[in-house]
């Protein structure tokens, strides 16, 4: 989920979190849940990049944007329509944006099962086949 920092009044945090947890349980019951988590505020971020072999570590969020990544959902779905339907239920879409993006398959990644994985990062996710 992407939203402007401070877009959520403090009194809305607990109800939105409870609703998000409920969605996680519903997704789990349907075999679609992989992971989800809210992120700490952007000021807690550390960005790392390598340029010309030199590591650059910067405190704070790297992108110069108003909207910041606030959390993510990693889900299993069959298609984009399913991911859109799930994203539309996430409370963060009321004040921010959900970006749906497929993950690249990594055949050598450690995992317990084979399944398509989708990311809905409160702005993220869809199916990798």
At 11, is the pLDDT very low, low, confident or very high (cuts 50, 70, 90)?
very high
Q: How far is CA 14 from CA 18, 25, 97, in A?
A: 6, 17, 19
pLDDT in tens, 87-117: 889 888 888 888 888 876 666 655 544 444 4
> How many residues in the chain?
129
> How many Cα atoms within 13 Å fall on the side-chain side of residue 125?
30
pLDDT in tens, 26-76: 999 999 998 888 888 877 877 777 888 888 887 776 666 677 778 888 898
Domains of the chain: 2-120 (3.30.70.1060)
Q: How far is CA 43 from CA 37, 59, 74, 120, in A?
A: 17, 8, 24, 22
How many helices (H) and strands (E) the chain has is answered by 2, 8
On whether the CB atoms of residues 124 and 90 are closer than 8 A, the answer is: no
């Amino acid at each position: 989920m992407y939203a402007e920092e401070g877009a959520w009044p403090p009194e809305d945090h607990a109800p939105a979190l409870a609703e998000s947890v409920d969605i996680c349980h519903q997704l789990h019951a349907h075999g679609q849940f992989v992971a989800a988590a809210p992120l700490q505020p952007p000021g807690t971020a550390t960005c790392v990049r390598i340029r010309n072999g030199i590591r650059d570590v910067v405190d704070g969020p790297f992108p110069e944007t108003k909207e910041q990544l606030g959390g993510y959902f990693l889900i299993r779905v069959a298609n984009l329509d399913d991911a859109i339907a799930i994203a539309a239920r996430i409370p963060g879409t009321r004040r921010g944006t959900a970006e749906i993006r497929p993950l690249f398959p990594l055949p050598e990644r450690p995992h317990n099962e084979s399944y398509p994985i989708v990311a809905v990062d409160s702005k993220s996710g869809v199916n990798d086949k």
